[in-house]
């Protein structure tokens, strides 16, 4: 049970700044997911935690120990790699026990007990006598988890542990990981570039881009109150629609439509830099350029959601994609294009015109230059969830 | 899963294989076959070969000196192979682990491979000559009396050392590639687990490198049997008391000093059989223990 | 290929030019090349001196050439391997090739004795030498020994060595290459035959003689080794033996008379002197001749022999021999060249050369024991003796090892002559 | 030059240190845990030991007589220029080197071409008894020159090849090792690339020249170095089969430098100068192409 | 423009039957997606089409040519591989043209024109002078597509071309592929194991399992009318819930609930083997064992969808997973567990009880043994879509 604290953590490789001043606290027993696009520094952060890379600057603390310069083996963390990193020539059991023997801190008996326990937990008892070659991807990953578990580390560090698995297996393993964490309660830092994984697994999610933390929040807050365009577009599939608008007296104005903005919240008063006027005061909020963000599932065919009132506008259907549980409709209105969800079995002809309505509770506005969110029409999340929010630029 | 065999023409394939096959047949298999044949003759330069049946073999069979030469060669090969592999492996590992100057360390340790064996032997003579050697003084200061012109076991050690030293480079070349191919994640996992360096080498790297190691064992075995002639010739001439009279030297001397081609051929057949038998054993072991990546 | 002019020729020469295969590396090789060039200038016949790495390899290449049919016109064979060449029946005695006006009597007796087979000069003696002792005069003086009275018997060598070592002047007293030639020389001085059939000159030998003197020799040898008075430089280690002497590790070295020039040049830090080879006892019958001679194959085209004859004669000329002697240190082997050197005062200026020549000329050429053994399996016997020498010196019981050597040599002989 | 001497001195110091350190023999385990410094130390020690002989060779080649009998002798002499000049000019060592180079290049090119073709057939053709064919090639490892020396010699004479470039190159051209290594490499080229070629109807010639060879560049270079070193160091066979000095190779030529030892000539320093000269081409190649040499030989499957 | 017909196509490897008697027609100009779990024979099928494998049995026709034994290069198909299979030593341009030169059927001028065109279409003009090493994954795949396009083949065969790309890129490339196909109209067979890809890309989707075709249908039909349990569970994420029930007089009976089945359609009257009585006749349909299938999104919290009427039952909440646009609730009822979608911002405590309702239009029943669907509560799709439906077992 460990709290991990990063203070102004930096890592430079020759010419690249991989991690650019992270401040973050991983709470004791928390399942923290780090998500971000490829190359944003997720793995580097994790490897810094593990001690596999040396920080260029900054500090890493585990509970009250400063471990910044500590050898990996002395940090008592266990890492699970994307490609499993099982020793190919050892049986499952040897793989699991190999690291334990190294420490020398376990008796044979204890090792046996722990392996049996872990195998039980992960349901890999049958696999213990096989070599990795004779295991499927999921089985390998489970053994790799087993190896991490038996050492009873202070923290688990996982680097995209599921991304080599196929979709079905990934979903299944996701559930197993959640359950495992519930059982063990070990502090876990989990890196992924898959936002679904981030959303479903994380108690809190760190979104990184370009070596910096963009937002740290529980999944749903991230989804509902993205701190900036990057987060808004990164989280959510299909991505949030972004439309250039002007804001005039509390109304988002576009050539082809006008969307009144409920007197909601100015976003993110902790946000540095974007000293935006609160839209709660409609007069102060006028500006000629803003970006309106609406998620596809918050746009609807007017005929499907009469309950949303008269706030509709017309758009042209470009393409439709059936997703099974819904129909994704690519539309254009004026010079803007957007996507929206429709009922799965709706029949819409490309080229036709549809009447579109929206959920006025789910509108977002972003600064066009900095990308900072300055308005969310929904009510802000409880502040307690947002304590760790760190803005890095 | 899928196949690489994308071309079908058998004639084409035969043509492609022809140069190798012809050269092998004409310059490797055919002379070998002739050597087999000669082994049944009493033959030498200027002598009309006389068929003697198995007499050459019989005399080898009844020659205790030759028996000891066979045994000696096998022991010599074992020592050279084990020595080369373990020294190279350790060196490779150090170079793999080192944080700077890898390239220069590598060149430093592989260069003896580029040195002609005869020169290598000569240099060894300079270094370890019992009276003249550069290192003779320092070594004798350690309390080891260098006397390998008279002391068989010492001579054996010196020749083996030279042979090992010369072959390190070749092994390192292959080992470093194999070691670099081991996924970093395995190394890192081991580091996180606090697995010590040596244990990592022995328990993780070596098993994963088995295909390369077996290849090298084969090549080194062949080297130990066939490639060490120059060291024996220049350092000890097989002596003292035949302590370094390995088969290849014995064979060469029989043929080109004594001009007994019949006996020499019989000896080459025996040499061939010994090496082939060892290879067979090694291949069997390979099948059993080698790990081949997915 | 080649001239191919002769009618009954069974061999063809390897090249248009006359070709001689030799084993003379270094400056001696250069001198040979010079001789060839001068010959060409003088006679208009092109000649190639082709270095073949070693005597052993000249022999191998020659024997192989007999099989293949393309032979060199001349090849230089170590006197040790002479019988091997005769056994091929493929050589023509040079006496038959040399121009009629050439007097084969010009060679020194001791030289002629060895190279004459069946009454005919079989090959052209060229680079010849015998074994001699060199001493480090300075070391001798430092140890209180008289360099002008060097040891002449093994016993004296031992006592001189003891003094040298005890006085801490040199680490060892003496060294010599482990080569059969030195053993042969000891046999020769003692007047003992190595084998029956007059060392192989009078038929097929089958017995290897080990007279008491040989026991004395090895007892002495072993004693020297055990007491750290002698150091073994290695099998056929000519260079190492010389180096030991030059590095003043040993104050005496037994090696070839041909080393005079080299030793004088290399012994910068002390004065070297030559002394007669120390005998096993006081008996001094004579040394066995070493070095090599040029053989000519049988069966070349007839006109070829004429040219070869010219070259042979040229090589035996006093001027050439004198030049060769001065350049290489090998004996001047013809009477005229010795005389011309005398006239020149060469031997007074270079007394060490004189010691060597005198040792040769003092020898009793008529005693069969001074004729180097002419054995078919010479290389094999050589190997046996050289290896056995180490074994004997290492063994506790010299006697049984000598017997072992004897029986091994005899089995080699019987294998060959069966 | 002075740089080289400084370098040699440093190496010498390290070698001395290395030798000194041997006495205090630490267990490997204790030094490995010293971390980076320990590894460097061990490497200096071991690399020093491995390098020591070349130091001796180089030092001897700069001396007059070239006898070194103790560590203090290992200071460079002043005859370097003279020795090298003598070897190259007086003894025409350059010509031997040229012959060696010619032989090695022919062998390397021949081996490569022949082995690429064979490996190509073995990997990319549907041929029956493939494994047997491969075995047939591998088996030649067991038939090195000394075993078939005499018959080969006679064969060359029968062919009239003695004393020619053919004699010292052609018998080497079939190479089990090269075929083996190339086969390994070909097997590591993704099948999809191969299949793309097949779908496009790329013929074997185009496939070899434009796909296989470019994709194997590293291995081909690496293998070439190994083959070059092997060819360059051949001694016995050229010695026996070449009898014209003009065609002789450097390894044999070294003997010429050594002089007529039996006749009392002794030129260790010339031999060592020659040795250094013969070492240079392969060493230069190794240094020049160290990347492909050290990175391409991964043997992962049978 | 080509129609591809497979008749009883079989492929056996030593001991494995990789493809087990396929009958299928790929229509002229169609974008057909083959989907199925790993090892089901998708790649083998594609490779049989390409001619890279020889069929053990059966026939492949392209238009009216029997190409079963034809050399790959004579089939005029282009293949795109998962790992791009670009020649690493050639520039983009060389990669694209290399295969064209081989055929020898193009003039230089034509080659240039075609490359320019393809590069235009794929927006890879900049990449033509770079080597694959200097390209990102997406760029490489685009060049690989370019290589396929320039040859103007009769058909494109693609084997998981997007699975090496990261999620965002995959989505983007998916759209580009759709557009490309719309432009070129070339018959395309596309293999994937990702059902989302299958749904969004395919005009029709072939679901394979164990070497056999399970169903061939347009995406939405597949989703709404799965022919069997395998398809039902494979298509849709999260997967369809399967609950063992008994059917009594038109009602699905479970210990904990009773769900009346609208007199809908007996599924699949063309289905061989499963001679099920039509549930349209409620009396004949009684059976003691059946499997009820309901998709998570067709289950709702009763309080969220009062419009669905009184058909509710109580369940216990086990776990909740926020997906952003919805909340996935894992529930149990009696011995059965199932998942359901709830509004994204619902707050549900694990352990609590919720009242669940369902969309009675979206119920499915399957044979417990064979897995065949014998009842779908929705109206059957238009028969025209189902012509190619082939049942293989
Ligand atoms: N050892 C290294 N040397 C140089 N640059 C590196 C090194 N490791 C990472 N980088 C660079 O640092 C940046 C961050 O890399 P990192 O591996 O942390 O990204 P990531 O977020 O894990 O990406 P992915 O999702 O692709 O794994 C990248 O630009 C990468 O190229
Ligand atoms: N060359 C082959 N030799 C032997 N078996 C093979 C070969 N190719 C495929 N198989 C087997 O045939 C079956 C089908 O393989 P195929 O590659 O078609 O599956 P797939 O559906 O493409 O799977 P994936 O999604 O993993 O690519 C598998 O069991 C596979 O192991
Ligand atoms: Mg990463
Ligand atoms: Mg596949």
Q: Which domains does chain A have, with CATH numbers?
A: 4-221 (3.40.50.300), 239-385 (2.40.50.140)
Kindly tell me if the per-residue pLDDT of E1 is higher than 90: no
- Residue D257's pLDDT band (cuts 50, 70, 90): confident
Kindly tell me if the per-residue pLDDT of A217 is higher than 90: yes
CB pairs below 8 Å between B and D: how many? 304
- Residue C227's pLDDT band (cuts 50, 70, 90): very high
Strands C250-256 and C172-175: parallel
- Residue B100's pLDDT band (cuts 50, 70, 90): confident
* Nearest-by-CA chain E residue for B7: E71
Kindly tell me if the per-residue pLDDT of C1 is higher than 70: no
Distance from the A321 Cα atom to the nearest Cα atom in chain E, whole angstroms = 5
Task: Write the secondary structure of chain A as one string of H (helix), E (strand) and C (coil).
Answer: CCCEEEEEEEEEECCEEEEEEEEEEECCCCEEEEECCCCCCHHHHHHHHHCCCCCCEEEEEECCEECCCCCHHHCCEEEECCCCCCCCCCCHHHHHHHHHHHHCCCCHHHHHHHHHHHHHHHCCHHHHHCCHHHCCHHHHHHHHHHHHHHCCCCEEEEECCCCCCCHHHHHHHHHHHHHHHHHHCCEEEEEECCHHHHHHHCCEEEEEECCEEEEEECHHHHHHCCCEHHHHHHCCCCCCEEEEEEEECCEEEECCEEEECCCCEECCCCCCCCCCCCCCCCCCCCEEEEEEEECHHHEEECCCCHHHCCCCEEEEEEEEEECCCCEEEEEEECCEEEEEEECCCCCCCCCCEEEEEECCCCCEEECCCCCEEEEECCCCCCHHHHCCCCCCC
Query: Which one of D140, D150, D286 has the shortest CB-CB distance to B255?
Result: D150
Whether B29 is in a domain gets the answer no
Q: Do B24 and D54 touch (CB under 8 A)?
A: no
**Chain C contact partners (≥3 CB pairs within 8 A):** B, D
Range among A321-325, B82-86, C196-200 with highest mean pLDDT value: B82-86
Cα E40 to ligand 4 centroid, rounded to whole Å: 8
Which has more confidence, E105 or C24?
C24
E/D touch flag: 3 or more CB pairs below 8 Å: yes
E130-176 pLDDT tens trace: 999 888 888 888 899 898 888 888 999 999 988 878 777 888 888 88
Which pLDDT does position A192 carry in this prediction?
A: 92
Segment B183-210 mean pLDDT: 88
Judge whether A96 and A120 are in contact, CB under 8 Å.
no
Which has more confidence, E24 or A135?
E24
Strands C74-78 and C18-22: parallel
C-alpha–C-alpha distance, residues E392 and E10, integer Å: 12
Q: Do A297 and E325 touch (CB under 8 A)?
A: yes
For B85-94, B163-172, E344-353, which range has the lowest pLDDT when averaged over its residues? E344-353
Whether B31 is in a domain gets the answer no
A/C touch flag: 3 or more CB pairs below 8 Å: no
Q: Nearest Cα to C87, choosing from C184, C172, C200?
A: C200
Give the percent of chain E with pLDDT over 90: 37
Q: Which domain holds residue B128?
A: 63-289
D126-181 pLDDT tens trace: 888 888 888 888 888 888 777 777 788 888 888 888 788 898 999 889 888 899 88
3-state secondary structure of B67: helix
* Nearest-by-CA chain B residue for A72: B192
ipTM of predicted complex: 0.85
Task: Write the secondary structure of chain D as one string of H (helix), E (strand) and C (coil).
Answer: CHHHHHHHHHHHHHHHHHHHHHHCCCCHHHHHCCCHHHHHHHHHHHHHHHHHHHHHHHHHCCCCCCCCCCHHHCCCCCCHHHHHHHHHHHCCHHHHHHHHHHHHHHHHHHHHHHHHHHHHHHHHECCCCHHHHHHHHHHHHHCCHHHHHHHHHHHHHHHCCCCCHHHHHHHHCCCHHHHHHHHHHHHHCCHHHHHHHHHCCCCHHHHHHHHHHHHCHHHHHHHHHHHHHHHHCCCHHHHHHCCCHHHCCHHHHHHHHHCCHHHCCCCHHHHHHHHHHHHHHHHHHHHHCHHHHHHCCCCCCC
Query: Which one of C67, C232, C247 has the shortest CB-CB distance to B150?
Result: C232
Which pLDDT does position E381 carry in this prediction?
A: 56
C-alpha–C-alpha distance, residues B19 and C210, integer Å: 58
Check whether the bond before B240 is cis (ω within 30° of 0). yes
Structure tokens at B195: 């697995």
Segment B98-112 mean pLDDT: 87
Q: Show residues of chain B in contact with C88, CB under 8 Å.
A: 45-46
Whether B284 is in a domain gets the answer yes
Cα E211 to ligand 2 centroid, rounded to whole Å: 10
Which pLDDT does position C8 carry in this prediction?
A: 45
- Put simply, whether E47 touches B (Cβ < 8 Å) is yes
Kindly tell me if the per-residue pLDDT of D15 is higher than 70: no
C45-54 pLDDT tens trace: 888 898 888 8
Whether B10 is in a domain gets the answer no
Structural domain count of chain B? 1
Q: Look over chain B and give the mean of its residue pLDDT values, rounded to a whole number.
A: 87
Distance from the B209 Cα atom to the nearest Cα atom in chain D, whole angstroms = 8
For A239-248, C106-115, D61-70, which range has the lowest pLDDT when averaged over its residues? D61-70
Cα A182 to ligand 1 centroid, rounded to whole Å: 31
E48-106 pLDDT tens trace: 999 888 899 999 999 988 999 888 888 889 999 888 889 999 999 999 988 876 666 77
Of B181, B186, B192, B291, which to mutate for an interface test with A (greatest number of A Cβ within 10 Å)? B192
Cα E17 to ligand 2 centroid, rounded to whole Å: 9
Distance from the B264 Cα atom to the nearest Cα atom in chain C, whole angstroms = 13
Which residues does residue A375 pair with via DSSP β-bridges, in sequence order? A266, A365
Q: Do B257 and C393 touch (CB under 8 A)?
A: no
C-alpha–C-alpha distance, residues E34 and E31, integer Å: 10
Q: Do D200 and E82 touch (CB under 8 A)?
A: no
C-alpha–C-alpha distance, residues A54 and A10, integer Å: 9
Which pLDDT does position E173 carry in this prediction?
A: 85
Kindly tell me if the per-residue pLDDT of D1 is higher than 60: no
Dihedral of the alpha carbons of C50, C52, C58, C64, in degrees to the nearest 10: -90
- Residue E206's pLDDT band (cuts 50, 70, 90): very high
- Residue C160's pLDDT band (cuts 50, 70, 90): very high
Kindly tell me if the per-residue pLDDT of B87 is higher than 90: yes
Which pLDDT does position A67 carry in this prediction?
A: 92
Kindly tell me if the per-residue pLDDT of E335 is higher than 50: yes
Kindly tell me if the per-residue pLDDT of C317 is higher than 70: yes
Cα A118 to ligand 3 centroid, rounded to whole Å: 27
Kindly tell me if the per-residue pLDDT of A195 is higher than 90: no
3-state secondary structure of E146: helix
- Residue B167's pLDDT band (cuts 50, 70, 90): very high
C-alpha–C-alpha distance, residues B97 and C304, integer Å: 69
List, as ranges, residues 352-411 from C with C-beta within 8 Å of B. Answer: 377, 379-380, 383, 386-387, 390-391, 393-394
| Intra-chain end-to-end CA distance of chain E, in Å | 31
Which atom of ligand 1 is the closest one to the Cα of A43? 22
- Put simply, whether A98 touches B (Cβ < 8 Å) is yes
Task: Write the secondary structure of chain C as one string of H (helix), E (strand) and C (coil).
Answer: CCCCCCCCCCCEECCCCEEEEECCCHHHHHHHHHHHHHHHHHHCCCEEEEECCCHHHHHHHHHHHHHHCEECCEEEEEHHHHHHHHCCCCEECHHHCCCCCCCHHHECHHHHHHHEECCEECCEEEEEECEEEEEEHHHHHHCCCCCCCCCCEHHHHHHHHHHHHHCCCCCEEEECCECHHHHHHHHHHHCCCCEHHHHCCCCCCCCECCCHHHHHHHHHHHHHHHCCCEECCCECCHHHHHHHHHCCCEEEEEEEHHHHHHHHHHCCCCCEEEECCCECCCCCCCCCCEEEEEEEECCCCHHHHHHHHHHHHHHHCHHHHHHHHHHHCCCCCEHHHHHHHHHHCHHHHCHHHHHHHHHHHHCCCCCHHHCCCCCCCHHHHHHHHHHHHHHHHHCCCHHHHHHHHHHHHHHHHHHHHC
**Other CB atoms within 10 A of residue E383 CB:** 9
Q: Which residue CA neighbors atom 2 of ligand 2 most closely?
A: B1
Give the percent of chain C with pLDDT over 90: 34
* Ligand with minimal distance to B1 CA: 2
Which has more confidence, E230 or C261?
E230
Cα E159 to ligand 4 centroid, rounded to whole Å: 7
Segment D192-207 mean pLDDT: 85
Q: Residues with beta carbon inside 6 Å of ligand 2?
A: B 1; E 13, 16, 18, 36, 38-44, 193
Which pLDDT does position D235 carry in this prediction?
A: 85
Neighbours of ion ligand 3 (CB under 5 A): A 43
DSSP 8-state class, residue E277 = P
Segment A314-335 mean pLDDT: 88
Count CA atoms within 13 Å of residue D267 on its CB side.
25
Instruction: Output the domain CATH number for residue B254.
Output: 1.10.3720.10
Distance from the B189 Cα atom to the nearest Cα atom in chain A, whole angstroms = 7
Which has more confidence, C28 or E168?
C28
Distance from the B4 Cα atom to the nearest Cα atom in chain E, whole angstroms = 10
Assign a CATH topology to domain D92-301.
MetI-like fold (1.10.3720)
Of E33, E137, E167, E294, which to mutate for an interface test with A (greatest number of A Cβ within 10 Å)? E167
Kindly tell me if the per-residue pLDDT of D27 is higher than 60: no
* Ligand with minimal distance to E34 CA: 2
Kindly tell me if the per-residue pLDDT of D209 is higher than 50: yes
Which pLDDT does position D109 carry in this prediction?
A: 95
How many residues belong to chain E? 393
- Residue A45's pLDDT band (cuts 50, 70, 90): very high
Q: Look over chain C and give the mean of its residue pLDDT values, rounded to a whole number.
A: 87
B264-288 pLDDT tens trace: 889 988 998 998 898 888 888 877 7
Segment B30-59 mean pLDDT: 86
Whether B240 is in a domain gets the answer yes
């Amino acid at each position: 049970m460990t709290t991990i604290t990063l203070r102004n953590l930096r890592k430079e490789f020759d010419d690249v700044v991989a991690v650019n001043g992270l401040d973050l606290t991983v709470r004791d027993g928390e399942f923290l997911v780090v998500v971000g696009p490829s190359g944003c520094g997720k793995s580097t952060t994790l490897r810094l935690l593990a001690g596999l890379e040396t920080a260029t600057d900054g500090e890493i603390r585990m509970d009250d120990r400063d471990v910044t310069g500590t050898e990996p083996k002395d940090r008592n963390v266990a890492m699970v790699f994307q490609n499993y990193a099982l020793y190919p020539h050892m049986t499952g059991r040897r793989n699991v026990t190999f690291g334990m023997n190294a420490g020398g801190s376990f008796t044979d008996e204890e090792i046996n007990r722990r392996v049996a326990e872990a195998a039980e937990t992960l349901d890999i008892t049958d696999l213990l006598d096989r070599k990795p070659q004779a295991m499927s991807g999921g089985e390998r990953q489970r053994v790799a988890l087993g190896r991490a578990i038996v050492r009873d580390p202070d923290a688990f560090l996982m680097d995209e542990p599921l991304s080599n698995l196929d979709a079905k297996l990934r979903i299944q393993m996701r559930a197993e990981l959640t359950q495992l964490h519930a059982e063990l309660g070990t502090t876990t830092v989990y890196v992924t570039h898959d936002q679904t994984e981030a959303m479903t697994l994380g108690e809190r999610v760190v979104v990184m881009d370009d070596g910096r933390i963009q937002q740290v929040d529980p999944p749903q807050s991230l989804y509902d109150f993205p701190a900036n365009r990057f987060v808004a577009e990164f989280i959510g599939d299909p991505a949030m629609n972004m439309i250039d608008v002007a804001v005039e007296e509390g109304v988002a104005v576009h050539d082809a439509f006008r969307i009144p903005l409920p007197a909601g919240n100015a976003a993110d008063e902790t946000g540095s830099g974007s000293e935006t006027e609160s839209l709660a005061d409609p007069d102060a909020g006028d500006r000629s350029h803003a970006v309106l963000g609406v998620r596809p599932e918050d746009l609807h065919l007017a005929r499907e959601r009469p309950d949303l009132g008269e706030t509709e506008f017309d758009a042209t259907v470009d393409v439709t994609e059936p997703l099974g549980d819904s129909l994704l409709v690519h539309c254009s209105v004026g010079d803007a294009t957007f996507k929206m969800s429709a009922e799965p079995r709706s029949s819409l002809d490309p080229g036709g015109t549809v009447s579109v309505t929206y959920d006025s509770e789910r509108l977002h506005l972003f600064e066009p230059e900095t990308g900072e969110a300055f308005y969310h029409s929904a009510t802000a999340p409880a502040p307690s969830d947002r304590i760790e929010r760190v803005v890095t630029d | 899963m899928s196949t690489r065999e994308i071309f079908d023409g058998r004639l084409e394939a035969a043509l492609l294989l022809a140069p190798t096959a012809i050269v092998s047949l004409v310059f490797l298999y055919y002379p070998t076959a002739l050597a087999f044949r000669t082994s049944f003759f009493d033959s030498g330069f200027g002598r009309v070969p006389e068929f003697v049946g198995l007499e050459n073999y019989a005399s080898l069979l009844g020659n205790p000196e030759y028996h000891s030469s066979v045994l000696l060669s096998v022991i010599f090969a074992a020592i050279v192979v084990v020595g080369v592999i373990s020294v190279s492996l350790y060196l490779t590992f150090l170079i793999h682990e080192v944080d700077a100057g890898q390239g220069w360390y590598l060149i430093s340790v592989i260069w003896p491979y580029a040195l002609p064996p005869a020169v290598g032997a000569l240099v060894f003579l300079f270094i370890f000559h019992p009276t003249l050697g550069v290192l003779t003084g320092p070594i004798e200061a350690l309390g080891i009396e260098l006397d390998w012109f008279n002391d068989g076991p010492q001579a054996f050690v010196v020749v083996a050392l030279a042979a090992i030293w010369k072959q390190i480079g070749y092994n390192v070349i292959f080992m470093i590639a194999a070691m670099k191919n081991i996924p970093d994640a395995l190394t890192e996992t081991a580091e996180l687990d606090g697995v010590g360096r040596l244990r990592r080498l022995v328990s993780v790297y070596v098993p994963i490198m088995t295909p390369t190691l077996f290849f090298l064992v084969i090549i080194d075995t062949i080297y130990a049997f066939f490639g060490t002639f120059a060291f024996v010739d220049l350092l000890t001439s097989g002596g003292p008391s035949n302590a370094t009279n390995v088969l290849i030297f014995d064979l060469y001397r029989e043929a080109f000093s004594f001009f007994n081609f019949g006996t020499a051929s019989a000896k080459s057949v025996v040499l061939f059989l010994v090496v082939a038998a060892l290879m067979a054993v090694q291949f069997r072991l390979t099948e059993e223990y080698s790990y081949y990546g997915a | 290929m080649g001239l191919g002019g002769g009618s009954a020729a069974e061999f063809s020469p390897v090249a248009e030019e006359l070709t001689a295969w030799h084993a003379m590396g270094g400056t001696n090789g250069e001198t040979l090349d010079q001789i060839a060039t001068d010959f060409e200038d003088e006679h208009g016949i092109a000649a190639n001196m082709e270095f073949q790495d070693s005597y052993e390899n000249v022999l191998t290449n020659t024997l192989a050439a007999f099989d293949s049919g393309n032979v060199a016109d001349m090849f230089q064979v170590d006197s040790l391997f002479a019988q091997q060449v005769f056994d091929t029946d493929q050589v023509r005695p040079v006496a038959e090739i040399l121009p009629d006006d050439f007097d084969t009597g010009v060679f020194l007796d001791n030289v002629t004795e060895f190279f004459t087979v069946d009454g005919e000069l079989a090959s052209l003696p060229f680079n010849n030498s015998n074994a001699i002792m060199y001493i480090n005069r300075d070391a001798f003086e430092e140890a209180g020994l008289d360099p002008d009275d060097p040891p002449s018997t093994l016993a004296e060598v031992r006592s001189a060595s003891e003094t040298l070592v005890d006085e801490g002047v040199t680490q060892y007293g003496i060294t010599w290459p482990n080569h059969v030639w030195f053993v042969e020389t000891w046999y020769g001085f003692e007047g003992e035959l190595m084998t029956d059939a007059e060392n192989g000159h009078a038929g097929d030998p089958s017995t290897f003689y080990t007279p008491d003197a040989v026991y004395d020799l090895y007892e002495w040898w072993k004693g020297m080794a055990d007491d750290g008075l002698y150091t073994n430089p290695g099998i056929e280690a000519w260079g190492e033996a010389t180096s030991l002497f030059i590095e003043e590790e040993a104050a005496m070295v037994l090696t070839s008379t041909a080393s005079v020039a080299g030793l004088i040049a290399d012994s910068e830090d002390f004065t070297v002197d030559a002394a007669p080879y120390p005998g096993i006892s006081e008996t001094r019958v004579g040394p066995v001749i070493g070095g090599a001679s040029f053989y000519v194959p049988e069966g070349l085209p007839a006109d070829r022999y004429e040219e070869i004859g010219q070259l042979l004669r040229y090589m035996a000329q006093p001027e050439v021999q004198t030049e060769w002697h001065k350049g290489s240190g090998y004996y001047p082997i013809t009477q005229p060249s010795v005389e011309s050197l005398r006239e020149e005062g060469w031997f007074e200026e270079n007394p060490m050369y004189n010691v060597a020549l005198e040792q040769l000329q003092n020898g009793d050429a008529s005693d069969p024991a001074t004729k180097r053994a002419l054995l078919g399996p010479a290389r094999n016997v050589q190997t046996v003796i050289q290896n056995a020498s180490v074994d004997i010196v290492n063994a506790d019981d010299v006697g049984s090892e000598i017997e072992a050597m004897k029986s091994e040599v005899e089995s080699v002989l019987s294998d060959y002559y069966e | 030059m002075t740089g080289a001497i400084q370098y040699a001195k440093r190496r010498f110091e390290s070698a001395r240190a290395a030798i000194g350190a041997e006495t205090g023999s630490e267990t490997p385990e204790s030094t490995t845990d010293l971390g980076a410094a320990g590894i460097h130390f061990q490497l200096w020690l071991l690399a020093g030991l491995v390098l020591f002989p070349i130091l001796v060779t180089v030092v001897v080649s700069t001396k007059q007589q070239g006898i070194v009998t103790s560590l203090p002798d290992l200071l460079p002499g002043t005859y370097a220029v003279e020795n090298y000049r003598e070897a190259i000019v007086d003894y025409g060592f350059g010509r031997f080197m040229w012959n060696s180079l010619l032989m090695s290049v022919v062998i390397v090119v021949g081996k490569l071409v022949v082995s690429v073709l064979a490996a190509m057939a073995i990997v990319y053709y549907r041929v029956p008894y493939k494994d047997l064919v491969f075995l047939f090639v591998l088996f030649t490892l067991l038939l090195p020159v000394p075993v078939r020396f005499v018959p080969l010699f006679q064969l060359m004479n029968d062919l009239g090849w003695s004393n020619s470039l053919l004699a010292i190159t052609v018998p080497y051209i079939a190479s089990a090792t090269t075929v083996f290594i190339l086969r390994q490499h070909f097997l590591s080229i993704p099948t999809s690339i191969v299949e793309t070629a097949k779908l496009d109807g790329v013929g074997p010639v185009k496939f070899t020249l434009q796909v296989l060879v470019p994709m194997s560049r590293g291995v081909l270079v690496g293998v070439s170095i190994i083959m070059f070193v092997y060819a360059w160091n051949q001694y016995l066979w050229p010695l026996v089969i070449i009898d014209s000095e003009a065609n002789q190779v450097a390894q044999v030529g070294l003997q010429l430098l050594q002089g007529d030892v039996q006749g009392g000539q002794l030129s260790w320093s010339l031999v060592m100068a020659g040795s250094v000269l013969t070492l240079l081409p392969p060493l230069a190649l190794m240094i020049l192409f160290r990347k492909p040499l050290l990175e391409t030989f991964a043997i992962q499957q049978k």
